[in-house]
Each structure stands twice: as structure tokens, then as C-alpha cells.
Amino acid sequence: MINRNLFAREWKSNAAALLIWTLIITLLITLTMSVYRVFLENNTKILAMISILPKGALQFKGISSVDALFSVLGFYSANNVIYMLVLGSIYSIVLSSGILLREEYNKTAEFLLSWPLDRGEVFISKATVVFLNIFLLNLITSLAGLVSMIIVKKEAFSVNAFLILTLYTFLLNLLFATVGLLMSAMVKKPRPITTLSIGLVLILYFIFTFSKITESVSKIGYLTPFRYVNLDTLNPSYRLEPWNLLYFIGLSLLMTAIAYRLYRRKDIYV
């Protein structure tokens, strides 16, 4: 069902964006990890600073205790939330929401859909490019994180916990990619929805942080997919929760299926 011609074209036209986003996130991760040693050396001052923060300020970074910040994995997971979870999700949703819709607002859909392709092939070829790009972004940036941690660590850390965190991140990015596909299949007017897509990720992240900081509204956190990413990597019982896994995979499959169905019957206005 993948059309190789279309896949190759999409792969090529999105390669530059993948490269730029991967470089930026890799750079941010390695720069952050490069200050880990300095962080350890100034632990007294930092502890004093952190002690004045509300409890929730650490919780939304998945840190259950201040001590966790001083382990290399705890430091990595706390600081890379923004880079991998938020920036990675923004990349994913922007890529996926544009890949179908761009053909419409650039008016190239009139060419593409007049060639011998069915809508299903168009959707699957483009969605495969999205998923592959997200996989590569996660693979490269995670490898950069792993290598950085190995270089700056003072004590051993759990590679298993790191891999679980990486998988959670990938699943979250993938989920946002399917949201983007669904949005682009639903949009009737051919215009970019980049702002809307980025806004959605930021709003959901804001709801997540708000729910962590404010105990009285903690339940609204369940509305956002960030809530289902377990960042508490230092917890001895840290593992891939089956319900969380089901949530990400189930929701991603459901949204992809709905987007596929809608796109096959979508009126393409150019």
C-alpha cells in the first residue's frame, strides 16, 4: 500500500526539517548534560534554591525527591522533558498536520490526486514518512542522551529505565503525530494549521504542569497525554505500565484509523 515514488518524494522533502530538529534537540540535550558535573559540584547552592520551590514544581518534571536530580538519569529525565516530550511532540504534530494538508493549500493535490494513486496509498505513504521521521528523531536524540550520560556520569545508572523513558517519549510523539493526521483529515478549508497544532501541544502541557502544581485540580491532568508518561526513572518499581502502553498504542491506532477513513472520503478543495 506504500507508494514508493510518493514515499521517496516525501522523505526527501522532509529530510531538511528532520535534520534541523534533530540537531537542535541533540544540541540542547548534550549542552544540558554537559552542565551535570557543574550541577553536582554546586549541590549546596542548588539545594538551597530548589528548597524554595513548591513541591509540584519538581513533580511535573517527574522528580519525586530533590535527591533524584543528583543522579545522572534523574537529571536527564527532569531536564529533557521540555526537549524530548514538548519539542519532540511539537515536531511530530507540525510534521503530521502539514504533510497531507500542504498538498491542499499549495494546490498540488490537483496534480497528485490526478495521478494513478488511491487516497489510501497517499495516506499510508505520507503517514509512514511521519512515523519513520519521528522514530529517527527519537533514536538519534536518545542516543545522544545516552552517550552524554555515559560521558558525564559519576555513578552507574539503569539503562533499562532509560530505555523505558525513551519508549514513553517515542509513544507520546507518535500519539501527537496521529493527532496531527486526524486534524489535517478533518480540516475543510485548505490552510496551514501549524499554529493550532503547536498551541494544542503547549496547552496540553500547560494543563499537565498545572495539574501537578495545583493539587486541587490534579484530576484534569488525566486529560493530557503527558500524564501517561512516567518520568520517575529512579523509582525502583519504574516500568512500562501496561495501561499507559495501551493508552498510547490504542489511542494512536484509533486516531490513525479515523484519519485514514476521513481522508479517503475527504473533499479536497484547492
For position 109 contacting other proteins by CB under 8 A, the verdict is yes
Asked if 114 touches other proteins (CB under 8 A), the answer is yes
> Does residue number 269 form part of the binding site for other proteins (CB under 8 A)?
yes
Give 213: exposed, middle or buried? Use CB within 10 Å, 0-12, 13-18, 19+.
Answer: middle
Grid coordinates of 237:
518499581
268 sits near other proteins (criterion: CB under 8 A): yes
Confirm or reject binding of residue 1 to other proteins (CB under 8 A).
no
The yes or no reply on residue 261 touching other proteins (CB under 8 A) is no
How many helices and strands, by DSSP H and E, does the chain display?
11, 0
Stretch 11-30 residues interacting with other proteins (CB under 8 A): 13
Identify the CA nearest to 135 among candidates 98, 164, 166. Answer: 166
Instruction: Give the closest residue to 258 by CA, choosing from 191, 173, 180.
Output: 180
| Residue number with CB closer to other proteins (7 or 210) | 7
Task: State whether residue 68 is helix, strand or coil.
Answer: helix
Pick from 17, 40, 46, 117 the residue near other proteins by CB under 8 A: 117
Number of residues that bind other proteins (CB under 8 A): 22
8-state DSSP, 71:
S
Is residue 116 close enough to count as binding other proteins by CB under 8 A? yes
Q: Which amino acid is at 126?
A: K
- Give me the least distance between CB of 10 and other proteins, in Å please: 11
265 near other proteins (CB under 8 A): yes
Smaller CB distance to other proteins: residue 2 or 35? 2
Q: Does 262 bind other proteins (CB under 8 A)?
A: no
Tell me whether residue 41 or residue 110 sits nearer to other proteins (CB atom): 110
Find the shortest distance in angstroms from Cβ 259 to other proteins: 17
Is residue 219 at the binding interface for other proteins, with CB under 8 A as the rule? no
Q: How far is CA 119 from CA 12, 130, 181, 259, in A?
A: 21, 17, 14, 12
Q: Euclidean distance between the first and final Cα of the chain, in Å?
A: 25
Q: Determine the distance from the C-alpha atom of residue 52 to the mean position of all C-alpha atoms in its chain, rounded to a whole number.
A: 30
Euclidean distance between CA atoms 176 and 219, whole angstroms: 21
For the CB of residue 109, give the shortest distance to other proteins in the complex, in Å.
7
Least Å from the CB of residue 93 to other proteins: 23
Nearer to other proteins, 9 or 153 (CB): 9
191 binds other proteins (CB under 8 A): no
Angstrom distance (rounded) from CA 172 to CA 167: 9
Residue of 41, 67, 110, 241 that binds other proteins (CB under 8 A): 110
CB 98, min distance to other proteins, A: 14
Among residues 200, 204, 207, the alpha carbon closest in space to that of 186 is found at 200
Shortest CA distance to 97 belongs to which of 126, 55, 69, 63? 126
**Which residues of this chain interact with other proteins, rule CB under 8 A?**
5, 9, 13, 106-111, 113-119, 121, 265, 267-270
